[in-house]
Chains A and B, each alone.
Chain A
Amino acid sequence: MAKLFSHIGRYSILLGQVFTRPARAREYRRLIVDELDKIGLQSLGIVALLSFFMGAVVTIQTAANIDSGWIPKWTIGFTTRQTMILEFSSTIVCLILSGKVGGNISSEIGTMRITEQIDAMDVMGVNSASVLILPKIIAAIFIFPFMVVGSMFLGIVAGAIVGTSQGVVSLTDYTYGVQYYFEPYQVSYTLIKTLVFAFIITSISAYHGYYTKGGAREVGQSSTKAVVYSMVLILLSNYIITQLLLL
């Protein structure tokens, strides 16, 4: 328990340093653009792949489970849309990104720590926590919602492609289901979740990297911890946000 409070305390102190007013805004702009590329653009492939197959599988599974003639075929489109928008495109995509982006952030900062690059920044008078972490947080909070919206679209399109090509649903039924009883608020709910997940992934991973001590083995351990804790906190916050916003 004491260890948990120690982590929370150090994490809060680190965030305090991260959100200190930047000395050189111009430098931060350049760093944010770099991070948008590393965190966002370089993750597009995996997000696209994941979203396509999630949409396709949900469509096939739904079709396989509604053999009864009492349930209309458009339910397939409806279920795919709801699953992608409410959960898969935000939570599952962010869980995967916590592995890719979070592991990357933690190992990058951890390596900088053990090779004294962070000490070099501190000695120069640079606020290393802010320079290294703030651009990542801003970039993730900016780019993740676009990726999640893209994922929703791709998943739903994948469902249409697979559903119609396999003959389990007609395009008309699927489209009707996708459009049926659409609540824009659900997209807002998902985007709010995504912003929280983006913050968790970047800040938790950066925290574990920033306080790495030792050598290569410890960098690996930090990376693992970063991914595990990010995932746990994503699942926990997913539950809390869902209860707050949907009930």
Chain B
Amino acid sequence: MIEVKNISKSFDGNQVLKDITTELWPGTVNFIIGRSGSGKSVLTKCIVGLNEVDQGEIFFDGRNFTKLNKWDRRLIRQEMGMLFQGAALFDSMSVEENVMYPLRMFSNLSKVERQKRVDECLERVNLAGKNKLFPSEISGGMQKRTGIARAIAMNPKYLFCDEPNSGLDPQTAILIDNLIKEITKEYNITTVVVSHDMPSVMEIGDHINFIYEGKLWWRGDRSTILTSENKEVSEFVFPSAFMQEIRDALREGHR
């Protein structure tokens, strides 16, 4: 479980995160949603330690990440996996070498055991046989799946996905969503997904955190977000006139 307590963050005097407190639960997909520039990516970068927080604390299963020294932080980071928006694969390495990278850096597995683990991970994301291809030789969806395989190679306790569906067609996006959901349940991972893709939220979101102007504006789940009376949430979920008609129909149905 990840606990975020009273996090604030500013850049050059501009306060991007304002006193955010939330919990992110294991074995579930926790979404951080919000409009572009709302601060959701900054919040995620603060949680994983890529940005230092100005104030507040972050606990990983009770361990205060913000108070740890660099070395102890690295130990917790070895329990994290992250899928970046652009996959962030090492472009000078093949698919196999990318997935093997964390194993080579941190595990004490033999060469044969490492290879076996890489094959398992690639198999899990349906990329068996693509070992020797380079990132530039595979599609965006395959790059994302390679990113997931690399993220799960070390059996992480925490998985972070930054806009996992950006740039993907709807069908591939659903494949990636389902993969994230399955892996979360299978390994009982605390998964955090940053997105503004509502179909994705409705497909796999267990817990939803809505960020608005740097604040945690609303928390809930799939069943409550559609009927939320909160103006900002409602405008985010139903942005167009057409969608608002659907919302009104939904509310009528509820009544």
Binding site for B on A (CB under 8 A): 23-24, 27, 112, 115-117, 119-120, 122-127
- Tell me whether B82 and A123 are in contact (CB under 8 A): yes
Q: A126 CA to B102 CA in the complex, in Å?
A: 8
Subset of 12 A-B contacts with CB under 8 Å: A23-B106, A27-B105, A115-B88, A116-B85, A119-B82, A119-B88, A120-B84, A122-B50, A124-B80, A125-B73, A125-B76, A125-B77
Interface string of B78-103 (1 = CB under 8 A from A): 10111011101111000000000110
Chain B contact-residue range equals: 20 to 34
- Tell me whether B78 and A125 are in contact (CB under 8 A): yes
- CB contacts under 8 Å to A, within B48-87, are 48-50, 73-78, 80-82, 84-86
Which residue of chain A lies nearest to B90 when distances are taken between CB atoms in the complex? Answer: A117
Which residue of chain B lies nearest to A20 when distances are taken between CB atoms in the complex? Answer: B70
- Tell me whether A120 and B82 are in contact (CB under 8 A): yes
Which residue of chain B lies nearest to A30 when distances are taken between CB atoms in the complex? Answer: B104
| Inter-chain contacts of A119 with B (CB < 8 A) | 50, 82, 84, 88
- CB contacts under 8 Å to A, within B13-55, are 48-50
Instruction: Give the Cβ gap from A161 to chain B, nearest Cβ, in Å.
Output: 40
B160 interface residue, CB < 8 Å from A? yes
- Tell me whether A124 and B88 are in contact (CB under 8 A): no
- Tell me whether B86 and A124 are in contact (CB under 8 A): no
Q: A112 CA to B73 CA in the complex, in Å?
A: 22
Instruction: Give the Cβ gap from A55 to chain B, nearest Cβ, in Å.
Output: 36
Instruction: Give the Cβ gap from B78 to chain A, nearest Cβ, in Å.
Output: 4
- Tell me whether A27 and B77 are in contact (CB under 8 A): no
Which residue of chain A lies nearest to B74 when distances are taken between CB atoms in the complex? Answer: A125
Which of A23, A24, A117 has the most CB atoms of chain B within a 10 A radius of its CB?
Answer: A117
- CB contacts under 8 Å to A, within B172-189, are none
- Tell me whether B48 and A123 are in contact (CB under 8 A): yes
Which residue of chain A lies nearest to B73 when distances are taken between CB atoms in the complex? Answer: A125
Which residue of chain B lies nearest to A122 when distances are taken between CB atoms in the complex? Answer: B50
- Tell me whether B160 and A124 are in contact (CB under 8 A): no
Q: Which of A116, A122, A124 is in CB contact (< 8 Å) with B105?
A: A124
Q: A125 CA to B48 CA in the complex, in Å?
A: 10
Given A116-B85, A119-B84, A124–B78 Cβ distance below 8 Å?
Answer: yes
Which residue of chain B lies nearest to A126 when distances are taken between CB atoms in the complex? Answer: B105
Which residue of chain B lies nearest to A119 when distances are taken between CB atoms in the complex? Answer: B50
Instruction: Give the Cβ gap from B125 to chain A, nearest Cβ, in Å.
Output: 16
| Inter-chain contacts of B50 with A (CB < 8 A) | 119, 122-123
Q: A122 CA to B88 CA in the complex, in Å?
A: 12
| Inter-chain contacts of A24 with B (CB < 8 A) | 104-105
Q: A119 CA to B91 CA in the complex, in Å?
A: 14
| Apart from the given pairs A116-B84, A125-B77, 16 other A-B contacts in the complex at a CB distance below 8 Å | A23-B105, A24-B104, A24-B105, A117-B88, A117-B91, A122-B49, A123-B50, A123-B82, A124-B78, A124-B80, A125-B75, A125-B76, A125-B78, A126-B102, A126-B105, A127-B74
